[in-house]
Structure 1
Amino acid sequence: MQISAIDGLANVRDLGGLRRDDGTITPTGVFIRAEMLDRVTPIGWHRLRDYGVRTVIDLRRPNERTGDVPSGVRRIDVDLDGADENFWAPFEKDGRWATPLYYVPHLHRMPQRLAAVFRAIASAEDGAVLFHCGAGWDRTGLVAAALLRTVKVEEDAAVADYMASFSNAAAMATLHGRSFEPEKRRETLARFIHTPESAFRAAYQQLDLDEWFDHAGIDLTTRLAVMTWRGSVASDDDAQDAST
């Protein structure tokens, strides 16, 4: 079954199948990204459970949260944005809040936010973890970028994953009955001398996760769970031992 063929989702994809710097491929069935789940049909939920989804992490702010998950699926609410008005005001004023241009500043200003997502990932029961926001675009994109960086996914592959949301924008508009404004996003980035590709690439290049883990005070158990994609890939220490 293709994870992209889920009734009620138009911007869903597995983070598996992406090429890493060492030539290996990220495993499927570990992390799935998506938009809001409000329109997922019973058939769609059946397919998600068949795919292995057992945990849903909702990255939205408390006033945005809607919808329920069926029995057999655990929902964890984590407000990735946070309520730091001094941080968000300039990003909301000039439109950067809907682009990768806020990713790195957010991680440094509010490291506890992504840290809470990572702790939720580490505590999740066996099975695939689906994380989402409203459009499945930028909050979801930030978490996806961090997860891809932890296992050293090639930059071009990470960029292609981000750009899939632009490709899915028309289908999302049809499904959800509103525009997700891909052209406005492009226009905002152009004012900052960026394209969507270059903005995400710049953010991805700046994601120094080793330094950030220390900055965020991530405990070793959580760090290992994230760095090994919940035990599905070898840790750097394991890989080094295998090569000697």
Structure 2
Amino acid sequence: MKPALTINGLANARDLGGLERVDGTTTPDRIFIRAERLDEVDASGWEALLAYGVRTVIDLRRPDESSGEVPSPLAHVRVDLDGDDVGFWAPYEADGRWGTPLYYLAHLQELPHRLSEVLTALASADDGAILFHCSAGWDRTGLVAAVLLRALDVTSDAAVRDYMGSFANAERMALLHRRSFEVEERHQILGRFGHTPDSAFRDMYENLRIDNWFTEAGLDRETRTAITTWRGAVPRT
């Protein structure tokens, strides 16, 4: 598991670099960073993020969750990944799957425009590293991370390790943000559907046909190229 970044005010931040790809290479550092909400980041934390190369912050939360400020040297983009599509969310909220990878593939299939907006924002951001986040840096952030990792053909084992990092960081998050992240509840919900956290993510990841999704979602060529090369950091194959 890749270690968390040490940033004052963040307990679930990590660079998506250094993860093993099927071809034996690893993903590049300082392109995409995932994290939880930024409300606790102090001045030294922002300085550290700037020093790390972050130049854009993308908030994946719903408008009514918006909180915190991002200092002016950083571009701040808000893209609602969830949306208010009640017909889609009602069954997942009723049985708890909304907080697990068990909704990811259905979300991609039924609400492709939501992720398309996020990928467009990632592709069109200014030069520099991009930090994307939701509230816990776990579910919505996890979905975007899964797509980015699949786009570079990161191995299933490496992608699972990245996802499981949020479980490893849960206690630190609870202390920092003064709230529970319901680890036991997540285990129980997944268990009812015959899964553990790692098996649920692995099953989703191995069935994520990203090239097909790009086509079905109508993603434009420029955005697709930016995502599959991690903004030009990896040569096209």
Normalising by the smaller structure, the TM-score range is over 0.9
SS in 1 for 2:34: strand
2:76: which partner in 1?
75
SS in 2 for 1:71: coil
Question: What fraction of aligned residue pairs are identical, expressed as a percent?
Answer: 61
Distance 1:191 1:27 in 2: 37
1:60: which partner in 2?
61
Contact 1:3–1:51 under 8 Å retained in 2 = no
Contact 1:58–1:132 under 8 Å retained in 2 = yes
SS in 1 for 2:21: coil
Contact 2:4–2:11 under 8 Å retained in 1 = no
Q: Does 1:175 align with 2:176?
A: yes
1:20: which partner in 2?
21
Shift of 1:138: 0.6
Equivalent runs, 1:89-108 vs 2, <5 Å: 89-108=90-109
Q: Does 1:113 align with 2:119?
A: no
Distance 1:181 1:138 in 2: 13
SS in 2 for 1:130: strand
Match of 1:213, as an amino acid?
F
2:124: which partner in 1?
123
SS in 1 for 2:58: strand
Match of 2:121, as an amino acid?
A
Shift of 1:122: 1.0
Number of residues of Structure 1 aligned to a counterpart in Structure 2: 235
Q: Does 1:219 align with 2:228?
A: no
Distance 2:206 2:106 in 1: 13
Q: Does 1:198 align with 2:191?
A: no
Distance 2:4 2:19 in 1: 15
Contact 1:8–1:39 under 8 Å retained in 2 = yes
Shift of 1:149: 0.1
Distance 2:63 2:108 in 1: 20
Distance 1:235 1:67 in 2: 37
Match of 1:79, as an amino acid?
D
1:209: which partner in 2?
210
Segments of structure 1 that go 5 or more residues without pairing to the other structure are 237-244
Residues 1:109 and 1:83: Cα distance change in structure 2 (over 3 Å): same
1:239: which partner in 2?
none
Distance 1:189 1:122 in 2: 33
CA-based RMSD of the aligned residues comes to 0.8
Match of 1:56, as an amino acid?
V
2:36: which partner in 1?
35
Contact 1:52–1:127 under 8 Å retained in 2 = yes
Distance 2:118 2:4 in 1: 22
Contact 1:55–1:75 under 8 Å retained in 2 = yes
Residues 1:3 and 1:178: Cα distance change in structure 2 (over 3 Å): closer
Distance 1:4 1:53 in 2: 13
Shift of 1:164: 0.4
